[in-house]
Amino acid sequence: MRQAEGQYVNPHLILESGQVKPGEVAWRSPSNIALVKYWGKHGRQLPRNPSVSFTLQHAHTETRLHYRPKEESSPEITLDFFFEGAPKPGFADRIRQYFESLKAIFPFLPQLEFSIYSKNAFPHSAGIASSASAMSALALCLCSLEEKLFDAKKERSEFLRKASYTSRLGSGSVCRSLYCGAVVWGKTIEVEGSSDEFALPLEDVHPDFLSFRDDILLVSTSEKAVSSSAGHALMDSNPYAEARYADAQRNLQELVWALRQGELEAFGRIVESEALTLHGLMFSSRPPYLLLEPNTITSIQKIQAFRKETRLPLYFSLDAGPNLHLLYPDAYQKRIKSFIQDQLAPLCSDGQYLSDEIGEGPVAL
């Protein structure tokens, strides 16, 4: 058993029969955009390289966890899941498997029945990691439920670390959504106490970066041809994998320096290189695959030309899909928004783009 998991295993978290009344816990949790990408994993959702992200503000999921004691004892997890008011049995199965995997940490889970209600503040297939916001909100609900049922209040830092660890077991990059601002996940000498098992906030970030905007161009709203899970698995046979992991370590060190020093140009160079490298790894997978769209490339060229002409600090990032995240300081919002609306929005599906910003982290509801 890994050290962190051993730390969180607690066989004493068993409910006394008849002592539990029905209730609810609820959290709103954001998505995040990786700046240095995590691509390739081992073990149970452990990263091959450290990553750093910005937490978003408006792209969030609200999750309400209703619980009640079971009428008859059984070892199975019992739950229903509703998204935007409609039952989603497929995702309910995924959550059921997730809860099953957490029995050592939350052994009271089989003693309860759950109804989970979730909704997003952003459209499906928007180029935003919905698993990050959804699973982090769910992990926060579980940690709050433990505190509520067992009157076991934790320090906020300890609470968030456990929630980060627990969320990672459901989906890797989820663990970065538990904190505000810039967040690091993965062991690195740049951040004291960093770990592959949970994320931590990056301290001493220059104020210029804390006012950053993130406008998301919806180049395509179609479902991806290759899922992120499948993409991670293909890294096991990628001929450039080891070189990539070493490069990510170097990029993270440089990016952390840039974030702390307020070096916008260095930030942009690394972030754009990371975005294109991610898709280069897809090109070199076995089999190779392509998630970019023609308008993704056209948008990148327009962004580069605009930056060269105006010398404004507008940079792009990409997740595992065709939709671009546009990152820039709030001070330049007026001129950059005009460029987005005139030149980039027409390249988006139905002219759609989403406006977001660096966020303040999860909120209990």
Same domain (yes/no): 171, 255 = no
Closest CA to 289 of 324, 322, 248, 246: 322
Residue 7 pLDDT > 90, yes or no? no
Residue 28 pLDDT > 70, yes or no? yes
Same domain (yes/no): 63, 200 = yes
Cβ atoms of 329 and 213 closer than 8 Å: yes
Residue 363 pLDDT > 70, yes or no? yes
Same domain (yes/no): 103, 184 = yes
- Please report which confidence band the pLDDT of residue 135 belongs to, taking 50, 70 and 90 as the band edges: very high
For residue 354, the domain's CATH number is: 3.30.70.890
pLDDT of amino acid 6: 63
Residue 248 pLDDT > 90, yes or no? yes
In sequence order, what are the residues at sequence separation of 6 or more whose Cβ sits closer than 8 angstroms to the Cβ of residue 324? 127, 216, 217, 219, 296, 299, 300, 303, 316, 317, 318
Residue 196 pLDDT > 80, yes or no? yes
Same domain (yes/no): 81, 214 = no
pLDDT of amino acid 18: 80
Given 151, 170, 205, the domain boundary residue is 205
Same domain (yes/no): 85, 123 = yes
CA distances from 222 to 219, 291, 313, 318 (A): 9, 11, 30, 16
What's the CA angle centered on 8, arms 7 and 11, to 5 degrees?
110
Same domain (yes/no): 275, 241 = yes
For residue 179, the domain's CATH number is: 3.30.230.10
pLDDT of amino acid 1: 37
Given 173, 190, 205, the domain boundary residue is 205
Same domain (yes/no): 97, 227 = no
> Which three-class secondary structure state does DSSP give residue 305?
helix
Given 205, 232, 253, the domain boundary residue is 205
Same domain (yes/no): 289, 348 = yes
Same domain (yes/no): 196, 233 = no
Q: What is the pLDDT of residues 100-115, one digit of tens each?
A: 999 999 999 999 999 9
Ordered DSSP codes for 21-50: --EEEEEEEEEEEEEEPP--EETTTEESS-
Same domain (yes/no): 159, 35 = yes
Same domain (yes/no): 168, 227 = no
Same domain (yes/no): 110, 8 = yes
Closest CA to 115 of 90, 96, 143: 96
Mean pLDDT calculated for residue range 2-24: 82
Supply the range of the domain harboring residue 87: 3-205
Residue 95 pLDDT > 90, yes or no? yes
Q: What is the pLDDT of residues 221-243, one digit of tens each?
A: 888 888 888 999 999 999 999 99
CA distances from 69 to 98, 152, 192, 276, 280 (A): 20, 19, 42, 50, 50
For residue 342, give the amino acid letter. D
Task: Say if pTM beats, i.e. exceeds, 0.85.
Answer: yes
pLDDT of amino acid 129: 65
CA distance 75 to 92: 17
Domain total of the chain? 2
